[in-house]
């Protein structure tokens, strides 16, 4: 398996624009996590899914953020409208069933909002 695949790797956008980050989890994994990494806050859990169903989205900072998982092999994180303070590295991770299992991370998307 190619691992967790995120796209794009880098995104530069202007304030006010819509941004969509994409993630393909490892086949067979049923848990999917979205994280945001910044120097100030470290790795923040934004939302996670089990079996394509959102379980906890309490980490989503504002209504400008939304995430979907239409099927087991694809998820998106959308920011609309984007703001400079959204600049960060966004990670997607997936894991097998079972909470004793590790999460495998994608390479992350570095988002810059100017």
Partner 1 sequence: AQTVTQSQPEMSVQEAETVTLSCTYDTSESDYYLFWYKQPPSRQMILVIRQEAYKQQNATENRFSVNFQKAAKSFSLKISDSQLGDAAMYFCAYRSNNQGGKLIFGQGTELSVKP
- Nearer residue to partner 1 within complex by CB, 16 or 97: 97
Pairing of strands 88-95, 53-56: unpaired
**Pick 74 or 105: Cβ nearer partner 1:** 105
Report the nearest approach of partner 1 to the CB of residue 112 (Å).
15
Burial profile 1-16: b = 16 or more Cβ within 10 angstroms, e = fewer: eeebebeeeebebeee
Contacts with partner 1 by CB under 8 A lie at 31, 33, 35, 41-43, 45, 48, 50, 55-56, 89, 91, 93, 95, 98-100, 102-103, 105, 107-108
Cα separation, 22 vs 75, in Å, equals 6
* Minimum distance, C-beta of residue 16 to partner 1, in the bound complex (Å): 27
Rg (CA), the chain: 13
């Amino acid at each position: 398996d190619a691992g967790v695949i995120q796209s794009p790797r880098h995104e530069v956008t202007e304030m006010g624009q819509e941004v969509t980050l994409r993630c393909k989890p490892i086949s067979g994994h049923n848990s999917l996590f979205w994280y945001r990494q910044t120097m100030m806050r470290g790795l923040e859990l934004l939302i996670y899914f089990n079996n394509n169903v959102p379980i906890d989205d309490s980490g989503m900072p504002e209504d400008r953020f939304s995430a979907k998982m239409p099927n087991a092999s694809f998820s998106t994180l959308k920011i609309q409208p984007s703001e400079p303070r959204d600049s960060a590295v966004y990670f997607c991770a997936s894991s097998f069933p079972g909470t004793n299992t590790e999460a495998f991370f994608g390479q992350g998307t570095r988002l810059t909002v100017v």
